[in-house]
């Protein structure tokens, strides 16, 4: 299902991100804790969330960068270990298909994003229309790995899926690990591939969000904000 909200013409991509960030406020439940993701689109959501900071109980953040931005706005950030559940998690995506499956991890926060998403009853994805795809895989698949396993995991991607994995240079995750970016994939069964790769020794998290797929996507387009429900 989908709907659309009108938007002025000739908006820039950044303005569209701000629009979906603002639209995501409609999914925040007053008086509760909200899950907050990572990235440029989420930054706009955090800025919008500051306008209602006195009406929420706080936020659980998926990255150091988001935590710093939330606190700069005076929003209370809670440790995920102290929270048993949250009504909604709001985050972006590098790709999302028409079933709500996503590739995430362009900002290297995929593991913490899954942890917060697992606390949430609902995942609301905010993105621009370029992120909507028929089949996942055009965007390189991020995989957080224990550094000593990076070469081993890369060889296994090539052997099992025909993917070419390269180490993301100069990147260390908030958890102290490395990121592999895997190109040349066509992910037709996201949940099955996520389940498989997550079992490989040395893999911390693969950036396929199949089990934690979106239930709603707010998509910024030239025609307005499209609301996709899955």
CATH number at residue 149: 3.30.70.260
Q: Report whether 91 belongs to an annotated binding site.
A: yes
- Two tokens at 6? 């009108």
Q: What is the pLDDT of residues 153-183, one digit of tens each?
A: 999 999 999 999 999 999 999 999 999 999 9
Residue 12 and residue 68 in one domain: yes
Shared domain check, 201 and 89: no
Residues 169 and 222 in one domain: no
Is 130 found in the same domain as 61? yes
CA dist list (Å): 143 to 23, 33, 105, 154, 167:
30, 28, 8, 10, 10
Same domain for 15 and 124, yes or no, is yes
pLDDT at 116: 97
Whether residue 215 sits in one domain with residue 155: no
124 plus 179 within the same structural domain? no
Longest dimension (CA), the chain: 52
For residues 126 and 145, state if they share a domain: no
Catalytic residues: 113
Question: Is 37 labeled as ligand-binding?
Answer: no
The total domain count for the chain is 2
150 lies in the same domain as 220: no
Residue 118 shares a structural domain with residue 195: no
Q: Are residues 219 and 184 in the same domain?
A: no
What pLDDT is recorded for position 91? 98
Indicate whether 6 pLDDT > 80.
Answer: no
93 is in an annotated binding site: yes
pLDDT in tens, 110-154: 999 999 999 999 999 999 999 999 999 999 999 999 999 999 999
Asked if residue 94 and residue 149 are part of one domain, the reply reads: no
> In which domain, by residue range, is 149 found?
141-206
């Amino acid at each position: 299902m989908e709907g659309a909200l009108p938007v002025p013409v000739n908006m820039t991509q950044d303005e569209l991100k701000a629009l979906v960030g603002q639209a995501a406020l409609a999914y925040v439940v007053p008086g509760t804790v909200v899950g907050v993701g990572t990235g440029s689109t989420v930054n706009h959501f955090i800025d919008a969330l500051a306008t209602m900071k006195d009406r929420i109980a706080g936020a659980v953040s998926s990255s150091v960068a988001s935590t710093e931005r939330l606190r700069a706005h005076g929003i209370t950030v809670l440790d995920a270990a102290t929270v048993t559940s949250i009504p909604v998690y709001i985050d972006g995506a590098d790709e999302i298909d028409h079933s709500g499956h996503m590739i995430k991890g362009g900002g290297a926060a995929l593991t913490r994003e899954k942890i917060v998403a697992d606390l949430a009853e609902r995942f609301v994805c905010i993105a621009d229309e370029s992120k909507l795809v028929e089949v996942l895989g055009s965007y390189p698949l991020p995989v957080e790995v224990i550094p000593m396993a990076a070469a081993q995991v890369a060889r296994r991607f090539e052997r099992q899926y025909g993917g070419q994995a390269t180490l993301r240079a100069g990147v260390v995750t908030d958890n102290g690990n490395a990121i592999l970016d895997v190109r040349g994939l066509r992910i037709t069964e996201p949940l099955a591939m996520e389940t498989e790769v997550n079992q490989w020794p040395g893999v911390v998290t693969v950036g396929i969000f199949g089990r934690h797929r979106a239930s709603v996507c707010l998509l910024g387009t030239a025609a307005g904000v499209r609301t996709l429900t899955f």
